[in-house]
Amino acid sequence: MTHPTQPERSFTLTRNLQAPRQLVFKAWTDAEHLAWFYNPAMPTPASPIEVDLRVGGVWRQQMVVNEELHYPTGGEYLEIIPDVRLVFRWGAVGGWPDLAGDHQREAPVVSVNLAAAEDGTRLELTVTFPDHLPAEEARNLIDGGTRDGWGVTLDRIIHSTALTA
């Protein structure tokens, strides 16, 4: 009996950080420590980072890709286990991905899992696209820059001053 192959709808990235889980979690959830998320080659936006750390609350900050492309991003918190796990619907109302109205159904879900490691913290980030999104569209989003973009973003946290605060 053969089983149909499930189309790829998610990807996982892993980083080892030389910092305790408490600091890594704080770097993801404290507005004063989320500046690592910005593209360092671009000017830091004047708009403040907003964090309402509760299930149903939102994190919102301005992402600057280049001088022509900038937009609000962040997420809506779905699960919060301090120092262990953070799950959010990725995006922002009026941003990218757009979380306004029915667009929320199209937004990927991001899970950040933190585990103690010998020299700090093992961070595992998984981005999952919704099942109702056409498989080809999910694949195009993953290969079209989403995986690489999150990889570059995670690389920034490794060198973040938030992990030494």
Closest by CA to 64, choosing from 75, 77, 76, 73, is: 73
Residue 1 domain-assigned (yes or no): no
Average pLDDT over residues 92-113: 83
| d(C-alpha 25, C-alpha 23), whole Å | 5
pLDDT (tens digit per residue) in 50-92: 999 999 999 999 887 777 877 888 999 999 999 999 999 998 8
In this prediction, residues 149-159 reach a mean pLDDT of: 89
Do the domain assignments include residue 4? no
**Pairing mode, strands 120-128 and 109-117:** antiparallel
Q: Report yes or no on 5 lying in a domain.
A: no
Q: Is the residue at 97 inside a domain?
A: yes
Residue 138: give its domain's CATH number.
Answer: 3.30.530.20
Using an 8 Å Cβ cutoff, are 153 and 19 in contact?
no
- Structural domain count, the chain: 1
Mean confidence (pLDDT) of the chain: 86
What are the structure tokens assigned to 152, written together? 């570059």
For residues 25 and 28, give the distance between their C-alpha atoms in angstroms, rounded to a whole number. 5
What's the pLDDT tens digit per position in 4-23?
A: 445 588 999 999 999 999 99
Q: What's the confidence (pLDDT) of residue 140?
A: 87
The total of other beta-carbon atoms located within 10 Å of residue 78's CB is 14
In a domain, 38, yes or no: yes
CA distance 12 to 127: 7
How high is the pLDDT of residue 8?
82
Domain range enclosing 76: 10-164
Q: 62: helix, coil or strand?
A: strand
SS (H, E, C) 21-43: HHHHHHHHHCHHHHHHHCCCCCC
pLDDT of residue 6: 53
Quote the pTM value: 0.88
Q: What angle is formed at CA 74 by the lines to CA 44 and CA 121, rounded to 5 degrees?
A: 90
